[in-house]
């Protein structure tokens, strides 16, 4: 989900026209503003489109700058000095105490063409410097960044042209610097989401470039029509209200089966779908990305959901709980995002500030990119702490869905333990009650064992999932595959556990069991416990189905208990069916009396 970097230039497609437009503007005017919604591709365009192109021409200079913390002017001087030194072959000038404009004008003699200064994530400047006031060139300290920038732009022979890239929701903040939007918007570019033709280019182009970069190796191919399928799918399953297709338009161009020329595609979704397809195919050793695999991958919302699941699975249990609590406020149920500070989140959730801060910080890191800091806005010009919001709007549906399931699964887990407790109590009660009917006793014992087995499986599965996702590259594995392997592993461990705990006291080897005539009975534990595993998987699937598809709300443990009991009954039915084994086998293998019989019979001292 990361933005493209300059070194990814050869793999960056779909933004040719935009890169040219930006370059034309930047060379023609001292200040250009580029804005667009979250995740539209501003950073990628500046890095892999604009800076990459500038550096293709010898002697041209460009700096992408986004180091907004601390001494911004000092950071800027260092970045500019290093770039000029690298390209023009002059020694790096020391970033002394001089004003930015004075420092930069030194380079006029060595720069034939102006240096392109691309100020990316400009909204973050306001996060780290929340007290920024409207610039007053006469009274403000000329070492502060806003004043230094204004001086730089005002100096006639300064060889630097500036582009400010800013998220459109923070655009109004620029007013604080310029005093009037008209001043900054004289050269203004609004970046739009990818048009369908550009999106197809963004799917096909990188692969061709990748294949060209490794001539000796077998090329990775796209099945014909795959790129179109991806685009159609992103158009028809677009989750963002901004891009929703008006019904009349979709019918006019032939419904969702055709590519709709006027419906754009969001780059983050495109990345997620292609990344997933690549992991499914190339990860499996195939060299063709196929349409059938795309169809099997599920809907776009599911793919987004998997991505969120895997990112959040890397948090520990208590941090996940905090994440679920803060998402409740960062994303509203109708899907709009709210930007909130740590203090506000702590107030709402009644959790300590430092716990919230550490989880928020983790969710902002580059291996997650679930949240990001946003410009702080001071009410009445007062300072407030930095606010955080969801990284790309495209992730909102996945986060809502994750939170929904997280809460439901917490309840399911509580419910499962409750059912196990009841089953164990029933077991003990039936053991202690004289004259309790034999068949019911067996039922109570078997149910108890199966449920304990099921809960253990669930725990093993959860550990396994977290372990795999935390491995390097683990988060790119398919969730279905991890689930399957986790389920099998849990089943095997469960079987081992039962084999050991049910081993008849006194029997020392399989030979002892065989000579006592109980080997067959003992072996029957295996299918019985497999049935237990299947019952567990069925319970889990039923719970997930209820949460994901039917959107059932678990306000009480009722449904949980229901699912558990249905699962256990299904298992017992299968157990009874499997009970058609040879007449000499004893169905009451799980009863301690049988086991002690075995011990008496089998152990010749
Ligand atoms: N031309 C493209 N082709 C394929 N993927 C793209 C393209 N442009 C952007 N992306 C992907 O879209 C996502 C968002 O891109 P990027 O970070 O550049 O957006 P942004 O506008 O800078 O977002 P923000 O407002 O959060 O800073 C990234 O995953 C990036 O890889
Ligand atoms: Mg960006």
pLDDT tens digits for range 41-84 = 999 999 999 999 999 998 899 999 998 888 899 999 999 999 99
Kindly identify the ligand whose nearest atom is closest to the C-alpha of 170: 1
Q: What does the alpha-carbon distance between residue 395 and residue 307 come to, in Å, rounded to a whole number?
A: 9
Closest CA relative to residue 363, chosen from 405, 325, 333: 325
Q: How confident is the model at residue 28 (pLDDT cuts 50, 70, 90)?
A: very high
The domain 305-391: what is its CATH number?
1.10.10.10
User: Which single residue is written with the structure tokens 């089943």?
Assistant: 491
CA pair distance 304, 440, nearest whole angstrom = 48
Whether 245 has a pLDDT exceeding 50, the answer reads no
User: Is the CB of 504 inside a 6 Å radius of any atom of ligand 1?
Assistant: no
Pocket of ligand 1 contains residue 40 by CB under 6 Å: yes
CB-based burial, 444-455: b 16+ in 10 Å, e otherwise: bbbbbbbbbbbb
The residue whose CA is least distant from atom 25 of ligand 1 is 38
Q: What is the pLDDT of residue 456?
A: 65
Q: Give the pLDDT confidence score for residue 194 in this predicted structure.
A: 94
Which residue's CA is the nearest one to ligand 1's atom 30?
3
> Would the pLDDT of 236 be above 90?
no
Residue 438: pLDDT band by 50, 70, 90 thresholds? low
Position 199 confidence tier, pLDDT thresholds 50, 70, 90: very high
Q: Rounded to a whole number, what is the largest CA-CA distance in the chain?
A: 105
Residue whose CA is closest, atom 28 of ligand 1?
3
Residue 92: the pLDDT is 66
- Reply yes or no on whether the pLDDT at 411 is more than 50: yes
With H, G, I as helix, E, B as strand and everything else as coil, classify residue 538.
helix
Give the pLDDT of residue 328. 92
As annotated, the residues of the chain forming the CATH 1.10.10.10 domain(s) are 305-391
Mean of per-residue pLDDT scores for the chain: 76
What is the CA(270)–ligand 1 centre distance, in A? 10
Residue range(s) of every CATH 3.40.50.300 domain in the chain: 6-190
Residue 355 has pLDDT above 70, yes or no: yes
Please report which ligand is nearest the Cα atom of 15: 1
Q: How confident is the model at residue 453 (pLDDT cuts 50, 70, 90)?
A: low
Q: What is the DSSP string of 123-135?
A: HHHHHH-TT----
Starting from the CA of residue 66, give the closest ligand. 2
Residue 393 Cβ contacting ligand 1 at under 6 Å? no
**pLDDT-wise least confident of 137-141, 208-212, 419-423, 600-604:** 600-604
From the options 3.20.10.10, 3.20.130.10, 3.40.50.300, 3.40.190.10, give the CATH code of 6-190. Answer: 3.40.50.300
Q: What is residue 307's predicted lDDT score, i.e. its pLDDT?
A: 83
Q: Is the CB of 121 under 6 A from ligand 1?
A: yes
Q: Calculate ∠ Cα 356-362-368, nearest 5°.
A: 135
* Nearest listed ligand to the Cα of residue 44: 1
Residue 97, helix vs strand vs coil? coil
HSE-up of 604 (CA within 13 Å, CB side)? 5
Share of the chain above pLDDT 90, in %: 28
Q: Is 239 helix (H, G, I), strand (E, B) or coil?
A: coil
pLDDT tens string 288-328: 999 999 988 888 877 888 888 888 988 988 999 999 999 99
Highest mean pLDDT among 117-131, 168-182, 558-572: 117-131
Ligand 1 contacts CB of residue 42 (under 6 A): yes
Residue 153 confidence class, pLDDT cut points 50, 70, 90: confident
- The DSSP element (H or E) to which 31 belongs, if any, is strand 31-36
Q: Given a cut of 60, is residue 570 above it in pLDDT?
A: no
Q: Which of 234, 267, 396 to mutate to test the pocket of ligand 1 (most atoms within 8 A of CB)?
A: 267
- How many Å separate Cα 586 from the centre of its chain? 52
Parallel, antiparallel or unpaired: strands 160-167 and 115-119: parallel
pLDDT exceeds 70 at position 560: no
356 pLDDT tier (thresholds 50, 70, 90): very high
Nearest-atom index, ligand 1, CA of 272: 29
Question: Contact at 8 Å (CB) between 116 and 32?
Answer: no
**Ligand 1 pocket mutation, candidates 22, 43, 125, 231, criterion most atoms within 8 A of CB:** 43
Q: Is the pLDDT of residue 524 over 60?
A: no
Distance 590 CA to ligand 2 centre (A): 62
- Ligand 1 within 6 A of 44 CB? yes
pLDDT score of 579 more than 70: no
Considering only CA atoms, which residue is closest to atom 29 of ligand 1? 1
Residues 65-76 have pLDDT tens digits of 998 888 899 999
Ligand 1 center from residue 266 Cα (angstroms): 9
Which of 24-38, 132-146, 299-313 ranks highest by mean pLDDT?
Answer: 24-38
Does the pLDDT of residue 376 top 60, yes or no? no
End-to-end CA distance of the chain: 68
**Could you identify the residue written with the tokens 């409207």?**
134
**pLDDT score, position 272:** 87
């Amino acid at each position: 989900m990361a933005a493209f970097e300059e070194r990814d230039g050869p793999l960056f497609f779909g933004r040719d026209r935009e890169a040219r437009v930006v370059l034309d503007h930047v060379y023609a005017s001292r200040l250009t503003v580029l804005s667009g919604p979250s995740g539209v591709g501003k950073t990628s365009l500046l890095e892999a489109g604009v800076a990459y192109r500038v550096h293709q021409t010898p002697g041209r200079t460009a700096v992408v700058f986004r180091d907004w913390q601390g001494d911004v002017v000092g950071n800027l001087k260092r970045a500019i000095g290093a770039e000029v030194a690298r390209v023009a072959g002059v020694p790096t000038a020391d970033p002394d105490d001089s004003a930015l404009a004075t420092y930069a004008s030194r380079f006029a003699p060595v720069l034939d063409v102006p240096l392109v200064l691309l100020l990316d994530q400009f909204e973050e400047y306001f996060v780290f410097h929340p007290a920024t006031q409207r610039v007053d060139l006469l009274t403000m300290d000329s070492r502060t960044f806003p004043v230094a920038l204004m001086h730089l732009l005002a100096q006639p022979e300064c060889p630097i042209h500036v582009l400010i890239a800013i998220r459109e929701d923070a655009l109004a903040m620029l007013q604080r610097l310029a005093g009037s939007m008209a001043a900054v918007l004289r050269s203004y570019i609004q970046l739009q989401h990818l048009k369908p033709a550009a999106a197809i280019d963004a799917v096909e182009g990188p692969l061709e470039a990748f294949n060209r970069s490794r001539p000796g190796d077998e090329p990775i191919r796209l099945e014909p029509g795959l790129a179109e399928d991806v685009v159609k799918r992103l158009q028809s399953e677009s989750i963002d209200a901004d891009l929703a297709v008006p019904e009349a338009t979709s019918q006019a161009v032939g419904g969702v089966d055709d590519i709709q020329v006027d419906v754009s595609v969001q780059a983050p979704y495109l990345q997620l779908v292609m990344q997933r397809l690549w992991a499914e195919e190339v990860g499996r050793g195939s060299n063709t990305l196929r349409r059938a695999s795309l169809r099997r991958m599920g809907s776009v919302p599911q793919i987004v959901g998997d991505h969120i699941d895997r990112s959040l699975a890397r948090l520990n249990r208590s941090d996940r709980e905090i994440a679920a609590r803060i998402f409740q406020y960062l994303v509203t149920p109708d899907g709009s995002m709210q930007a909130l500070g740590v203090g506000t989140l702590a107030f709402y959730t009644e959790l300590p500030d430092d716990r919230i801060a550490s989880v928020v910080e983790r969710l902002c890191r580059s291996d997650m990119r679930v949240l990001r800091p946003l410009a702080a806005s001071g009410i009445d010009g007062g300072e407030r702490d930095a606010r955080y919001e969801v990284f790309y709007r495209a992730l909102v549906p996945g986060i809502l869905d994750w939170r929904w399931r997280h809460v439901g699964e917490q309840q399911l887990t509580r419910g499962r333990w409750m059912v196990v407790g009841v089953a164990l109590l029933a077991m003990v009660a039936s053991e202690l009650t004289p004259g309790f009917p034999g068949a019911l006793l067996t039922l109570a014992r078997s149910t108890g064992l199966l449920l304990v087995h099921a809960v253990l499986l669930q725990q093993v599965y959860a550990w396994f999932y977290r372990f795999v996702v935390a491995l390097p590259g683990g988060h790119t594995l398919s969730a279905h595959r991890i689930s399957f392997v986790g389920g099998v592993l849990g089943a095997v461990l469960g079987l081992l556990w039962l084999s050991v705990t049910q081993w008849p006291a006194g029997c020392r080897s399989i030979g002892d069991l065989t000579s006592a005539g109980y080997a067959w009975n003992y072996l029957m534990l295996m299918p019985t416990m497999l049935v237990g595993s299947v019952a567990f998987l069925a319970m889990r699937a039923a719970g997930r189905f209820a949460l994901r598809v039917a959107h059932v709300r678990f306000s009480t443990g009722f449904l949980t208990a229901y699912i558990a009991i249905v699962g256990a009954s299904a298992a017992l039915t299968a157990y009874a069916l499997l009970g058609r084994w040879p007449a000499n086998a004893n169905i009451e293998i799980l009863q301690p009396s049988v086991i002690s019989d075995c011990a008496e019979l089998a152990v010749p001292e």
